[in-house]
A and B are shown apart, each in its own frame.
Chain A
């Protein structure tokens, strides 16, 4: 076959692949949008569902989702960041660190329904936290931990060696260098990692269904139960109760996650500008 023909074929295949991706993405988004947009109104967002068909709004589920997500983020961020700083900067690089990294990666690939089951056994039952925001946040944090940890580690490793050397060269100690130069320089990427993990938590269903319960409830304390948007959507759709409200909820959920991803992009762009 002659070269230019091969070239044309290769190019067409690549175009096709890219095209399929765009079409699928567009189809999903527009499907949810078309079906959900008629539902969206201030009343839908800010009022409670009522009646057997869950008419009305989804307010308590939005609050439950935000509540658990913020709580999980507050739990995960400090632990994951400190662990990553230790691994990247202090731990003697060797077998043990390699194993910790492998464990973190494996944790990231545990199916979330398994993590939910684990959360149910450990937090809901053994620890006696029952179905609650706290149980769900803790279980979610297992899911988020490896994401934030790896992002932080990579962010720290991306800080150029010669910038650290500049600090050491001025008589800075290791901790001064890490805390005043390395972490601030890595911060935009760390925040990006946290946001991405948070977006993942917002969309998570399996973990929360086991740990937060399904009761429609406006959570006040961390020990209150609730029903997150994903579970609400699942119940509405699977039991055929109120399909339009399910699409409305799905659309809100997508907008929320899109917001998180845009936020992550914004920070990443700032990061690349600064480095």
Chain B
């Protein structure tokens, strides 16, 4: 007897429909799974056998062959336990239902028949809808995540018995729904705010510019100057996430298993802060069982590399291409997959080895040469992706005590939103969305300078000893500053301010 049950697999961050074909025939009692299944999938045999038996059902003592189709895609994970079990039960006619075509089943089984949550539910639910499924039967703990997908009937289940009762028409499962609008409205708030940061107007302004043009930045400041504090708040001034963005971010987090249970959507921009001892794979993704790395977890959010000089050269090297492409490509035996990685890079570094170089209240014990070398090490490919350099001074005690009202994130975000809108409009049809993505070939058109501006820039290069690589970055950042001001033309003051954000190109740092 043959049965077919629908389930879902994952490639990259997308789900694809998958059929579990079960054939039960007379012969030696063997249980075989074919169709490029990995070890975790193969282990499902033991779980399925025990789960069926322990639910008071019959496990056939015959030859069982399971094919996961399409057979040429590698299958991973434990989410096929439930469809495999249901395939066996259907093939042995313990389940009698003529409309299984409309159902997709996902879930891991425990030995007693309980159904446990799995990773990657959101992309699977999206695929189910796309493929015309009507029902998605899935672990109860994943219900919130799947319910975000409108147009699909979500049927959460706790154990295999509930599924059988439902399919045999003995006890209907309840459909699960949530109000997305309500959810989205309430959850887009952050618990932290720029208003918590006292003073530091220069840092705030620089980050506003960065946020407005999606420019990568680096902050240089002594320990305790508040770099981590402001970094965490960068997402709060980025434009609010759209529903589509939230879906995509949630997909990635879902696949990586980073989505807390009972969460339907990641509604705030992610902030990822990997430690400098992180492996290359964890940073950009990949591995034997491919998973998104930190850079993809920071998709549509902020990737914060604290203590940048402490990261290995290799780690920084692997970041380069993804930062450029907004995407990580991983090649596999039979396919290549990709994870999105549109993130804003924010780095922090001490000014020197001992950290005190910029702190007037402490003594720097480094020699001038050591000071130069410390940040000098950073030069190169990664620094070439960074548009804005911010020097963070330690805030004086009296300023920390100040009760002056600081500007709220929401107020800053309003200006950021306005500037971003101008960019979206301007770059319509060009497949870029912000000034930071401007390609050299587009500069002539979008960063046109009049004679005065050109003169200023030339003058600056001659007098301030800026390095040549600063040129295009200054242009892009000037474009953003002009956009914040809603000025069509780039003016001298915009260029001058942009020059201010190139500290590391100055002779006194770069040596």
Binding partners A and B: no
B interface, CB within 8 angstroms of A: none
A interface, CB within 8 angstroms of B: none
